[in-house]
């Protein structure tokens, strides 16, 4: 890659702090070439996001089938959807077409993919025997587990991982962290936007207000910390505090990546190929659930310790 091309490629990466190894090796390089393809044809990043939504839906439909060829097709479609999920952000940064609509739509895309994936799991397993109790079928139990995993666990895990990444980016570089949004600001924007002529945008805004509010409810200590930081440093966060926060937050970025797409997708494909989809739900509830609790407690403890340091510094002065 030429030096000019390498520079352009690097400009499409938010931060190497928050990038996952698989993304840097596969999705980002190929996503960059896809971004160039779409840029040269005048295709907006939001259109790419919509492409990814339909690919994810198609993957879920393929996963309903029990034949191996359909499952492999579903895996390839989901890989393609995730490639475009990388491409849309890279295209937005490459062309400067970054919009709030795109930010909200991008988060919505993954939710749609997994809605159809959980639906596929529930449909396929309904009449399957329960492991270790083959005389019984999963029946309604699998629908309850899919609802619990999909609507509560999966949503909470991805929301918090997304929030922590945006917080990290905000502290190391406010420009790259411009997706760190507050529910108060989003609520104000929503209230100032009339329904007339903005029907679908208002629906997205209402959903995004709820999304940001839920992120804040899950992080009470961080909310105290950021309020104190804003009050103590109205002219900007000191470089020393930024570095301390980065040092404590950086080790947690690997957990945010595990809780989003790649790790759960790999385990989903494994469970699907061996014909035991219930294993994915077990992985999400037990393994990812424990990781979620651990990551949250570490981040809250980091914020608590930094708050104490801020108070001590002011007492000394």
Q: What is the pLDDT of residue 252?
A: 97
Please indicate, yes or no, whether the overall pTM of this predicted structure exceeds 0.85: yes
Q: Using one digit for the tens of pLDDT, what is the confidence trace for 244-303?
A: 999 999 999 999 999 999 999 999 999 988 888 999 999 999 999 999 999 999 999 999
Answer yes or no: is pLDDT of 100 > 80: no
Confidence band of 6 (pLDDT split at 50, 70, 90) = confident
Q: Using one digit for the tens of pLDDT, what is the confidence trace for 208-245?
A: 999 999 999 999 999 999 999 999 999 889 999 999 99
Confidence band of 141 (pLDDT split at 50, 70, 90) = very high
Question: Which helix (H) or strand (E) is 185 found in, with range?
Answer: helix 183-192
Token code pair at residue 191: 């209230």
- Find the range with the poorest average confidence among 60-74, 115-129, 175-189: 175-189
| Strand ranges, E, within 38-162 | 129-130, 133-137
39 CB-near residues (< 8 Å, 6+ apart): 91, 94, 95
- Find the range with the poorest average confidence among 8-17, 87-96, 131-140, 237-246: 8-17
Check residue 99 and report its DSSP letter.
-
Contact 223/132 with Cβ under 8 angstroms?
no
* Cα Rg of the chain, angstroms: 21
Q: Higher confidence at residue 173 or residue 217?
A: 217
Interhelix angle 155-172/239-249, rounded to 10 degrees, is 150
Distance CA 315, CA 317 (A): 5
Burial classification of residue 42, based on how many CB atoms lie within 10 Å of its CB (0-12 exposed, 13-18 middle, 19 or more buried): exposed
| pLDDT cut 70: percent of the chain above it | 97
Specify the pairing of strand 129-130 against strand 133-137: antiparallel
């Amino acid at each position: 890659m030429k030096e000019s091309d390498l520079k352009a490629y690097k400009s499409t990466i938010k931060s190497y702090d928050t990038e996952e190894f698989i993304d840097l090796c596969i999705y980002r390089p190929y996503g960059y070439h896809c971004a160039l393809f779409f840029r040269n044809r005048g295709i907006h990043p939001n259109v790419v996001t919509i492409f990814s939504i339909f690919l994810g839906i198609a993957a879920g439909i393929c996963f309903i089938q029990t034949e191996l060829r359909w499952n492999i097709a579903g895996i390839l479609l989901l890989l393609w959807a995730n490639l475009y999920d990388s491409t849309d952000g890279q295209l937005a940064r490459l062309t400067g077409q970054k919009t709030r609509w795109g930010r909200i739509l991008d988060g919505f895309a993954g939710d749609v993919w997994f809605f159809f994936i959980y639906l596929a799991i529930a449909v396929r397993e309904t009449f399957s025997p329960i492991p270790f109790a083959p005389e019984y079928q999963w029946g309604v139990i699998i629908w309850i587990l899919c609802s619990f995993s999909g609507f509560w666990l999966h949503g909470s895990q991805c929301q918090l991982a997304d929030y922590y990444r945006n917080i990290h980016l905000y502290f190391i570089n406010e420009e790259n962290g411009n997706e760190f949004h507050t529910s108060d600001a989003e609520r104000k924007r929503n209230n100032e936007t009339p329904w007339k002529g903005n029907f679908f945008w208002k629906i997205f805004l209402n959903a995004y207000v709820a999304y940001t509010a839920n992120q804040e409810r899950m992080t009470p200590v961080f909310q105290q910390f950021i309020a104190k930081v804003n009050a103590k440093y109205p002219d900007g966060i000191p470089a020393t505090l930024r570095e301390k926060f980065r040092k404590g937050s950086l080790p947690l970025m690997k957990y945010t990546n595990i809780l989003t797409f790649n790790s759960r997708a790999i385990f989903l494909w494994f469970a699907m190929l061996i014909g035991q989809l219930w294993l994915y739900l077990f992985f999400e509830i037990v393994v990812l659930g424990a990781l979620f609790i651990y990551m949250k407690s570490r981040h809250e403890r980091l914020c608590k310790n930094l708050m104490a340091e801020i108070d001590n510094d002011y007492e000394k002065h």
